[in-house]
Amino acid sequence: MSLSINHKARVLEVPGIRQFANQLVRFPNAVNLTIGQPDFPTPSSVKEAGIRAITNNQTSYSHNAGMLELRQATASFFKDTYNFSYDPETEIVITNGASEGIDSVFRTILEEGDEVIIPAPIYSGYEPIIELCGAKVVYLNTADTGFLPSPERLKAMVTQKTKAILLNYPSNPIGVIIQPELMDELVALLENQDIYIVSDEIYSENTFGSKHCSIASYPQLRDRLFLIHGLSKSHSMTGWRIGFILGPKKLMEHVLNVHLYNSICASLPSQYAGIEALTNCREVPATMNVEYIKRRDFVFERLTSMGLDVVKPNGAFYIFPSIKQFGMPSYEFATRLLHENGVAVVPGSAFTEHGEGYIRISYAYAMPMLEKGMKRLEQFITALGKHPISTKLVSSSSADK
Ligand SMILES: Cc1ncc(COP(=O)(O)O)c(C=O)c1O
């Protein structure tokens, strides 16, 4: 067969996170700490709203931007929670998860040769989409600045080619959040740059201690800012596929066109479920957070007692300890940990080269799993101490630069 396929699609690979999760079928007794989805069920009333919609034959297409009622519920949620306003008629599009929101926004704004700056280590879901648009990602290393973007470094990276910056706080894979002081500095810098801001705040409702600071609450950026969000994490609705894009009217007209040719609309029963989640289940994320905090404290304490260097996360449900002291690449560390002691974690290299020297542990798992996982990790590390490894050192990885 001599038919070719798009060269940009041909080079796409299975994300590192999935590569590890996919190996697990061969390790039925392994403790899986790889996946980033809440282990709580979708709230009952949300499920019932979805079931009711199906029973009542609400199974057709909706408006391309999503049901007006869901857009209104989305606007009210953000107004009440963060005090910024978007017009449900013209400034909100309901998507098939945040993933489709990211895709629709980038396909609307990017052209061949454009560059997008992304602070890293970072979730692996952005780069393939950006590259399919013919654009390129330029990573801003945060590994030596507490995993937060340095405004000076950012300023130095902006060039004529920079079309957008993507921010993801609370972050995947580290779980750090941006405090208002740093956000003020970043906004002051971005205010003077002619670039789009794409802010993926899917973990905003999962913060521990201080409230999420949304960049969408800075009116000076509003005319070129897209807020990406959704219900996957906040309401444990990953399989329902409901996301939102919020942005200024003049840009959202174009985003809506890209979205509608891609998927017409989000699933209608899921949209009914979404209305219930945003209207009557606003306390749900806080209930989950109580549990996440216990788990985070437990895992953090165990990792530090094992002598691992780790930043205490204050959002999302991931923790990102350093494994540099063991002198092996993160992929090798994760592979050996799975094969020798039956724990699956994601190698830091799955989150760009700046994640090399780390592993990501998800604590969206019940306590008994975490206890078992930490015990096995400790046994693995102890054995490594007794039999030091002679493979290449991670000494000058880019994460140190
Ligand atoms: C940072 C980030 N953005 C987006 C997504 C995808 O969200 P959704 O399931 O709503 O498409 C994920 C999933 O893990 C994520 O971690």
State which of 202, 228, 233 you would mutate to test the pocket of ligand 1, scoring each by most atoms of that ligand within 8 A of its C-beta: 202
Residues 97-108, mean pLDDT to the nearest whole number? 98
Axis-axis angle for helices 68-82, 268-280 (nearest 10): 30
**Does residue 388 carry a pLDDT above 50?**
no
CA of 356 to the centre of ligand 1 (A): 21
**Does residue 19 carry a pLDDT above 80?**
no
Residues 3-11, mean pLDDT to the nearest whole number? 90
CA of 99 to the centre of ligand 1 (A): 6
Strand partners for 207: 315
Strands, E assignment, 254-367: 318-319, 343-344, 346-347, 359-362
Q: Identify the pLDDT of residue 389.
A: 47
pLDDT band at 310 (very low <50, low <70, confident <90, very high): very high
Q: Identify the pLDDT of residue 141.
A: 98
CA of 202 to the centre of ligand 1 (A): 7
Q: Identify the pLDDT of residue 386.
A: 62
pLDDT band at 387 (very low <50, low <70, confident <90, very high): low
Find the helix or strand (DSSP H, E) in which 120 lies.
Answer: strand 115-120
| More confidently predicted of 212 and 14 | 212
Ligand 1 pocket, 141 CB below 6 A? no
Ligand 1 pocket, 199 CB below 6 A? no
The residues, any chain, with a CB within 8 Å of residue 283's CB and separated by 6 or more, are none
Q: Identify the pLDDT of residue 25.
A: 85
Q: List the one residue out of 215, 230, 227 whose CA is nearest residue 251.
A: 227
pLDDT band at 18 (very low <50, low <70, confident <90, very high): confident
Q: Give the lowest-confidence range in 92-101, 210-219, 257-266, 389-398.
A: 389-398
Residues 215-239, mean pLDDT to the nearest whole number? 98
Q: List the one residue out of 134, 133, 144, 139 whose CA is nearest residue 117.
A: 139
CA of 244 to the centre of ligand 1 (A): 12
Radius of gyration of the chain (CA): 21
Ligand 1 pocket, 169 CB below 6 A? no
The rounded mean pLDDT for the chain is 94
**How far apart, in whole angstroms, are the C-alpha atoms of residue 75 and residue 83?**
10
Q: Identify the pLDDT of residue 267.
A: 98
| More confidently predicted of 21 and 66 | 66
**Does residue 390 carry a pLDDT above 60?**
no
pLDDT band at 2 (very low <50, low <70, confident <90, very high): confident
Domains of the chain: 7-41+284-400 (3.90.1150.10), 44-280 (3.40.640.10)
Ligand 1 pocket, 230 CB below 6 A? yes
